[in-house]
Amino acid sequence: MSDVSITQSSVLASTGGQIITQFTAGAELTAGMFVYLDSSNIWQKVDADSATGTETTRVFGVVLNHGYTGQPVAVNARDSDFTIGGTVVAGTTYVASTNAGGICPRADLGSGDYVVNLGPATTTGKINLNPTATGTPI
């Protein structure tokens, strides 16, 4: 399998989404990217290859719009009815992939990869977004 292919214009929080809006992008970020808040309160892409940004203490979320470096972005931190903007498999748990900012099924990760759960898909288009990190590699 591979990363979920995101259509940026289709990424939408539900009315119950818990959205963080006061921080800026540390790189160009697009709608649907999986991100974490670094120690300078700047959003960075999550990468399952890296021990940095996959710690249990991080705040994680999915970008809801598009910002270049230094611009504000809105990040959905928790949303039980989140439209991810791509096709997912109901019942499958999605995680940060080894492509920075990308999302893939948990089963796609390999030895040495860090697990940051995004949440399980509830339908073919929605995820119960509740990001958590294990802080340890597989």
Interface residues with another protein (CB under 8 A) are: 8-9, 11-13, 19, 21, 28, 31, 64-74
In angstroms, give the least distance from the CB of 37 to another protein: 17
Q: Which is nearer to another protein, 9 or 57 (CB)?
A: 9
The answer to whether 78 touches 20, Cβ cutoff 8 Å, is no
Beta carbon nearer to another protein, 42 or 89: 42
From the number of C-beta atoms within 10 Å of its C-beta (0-12, 13-18, 19+), residue 128 rates as middle
Q: 12 or 89, CB closer to another protein?
A: 12
Q: What tokens appear for 37 in the block?
A: 């808040």
Q: How far is the CB of 64 from another protein (least distance, A)?
A: 5
**Contact residues for 67 (Cβ-Cβ < 8 A; gap 6+):** 24, 25, 28, 29, 73
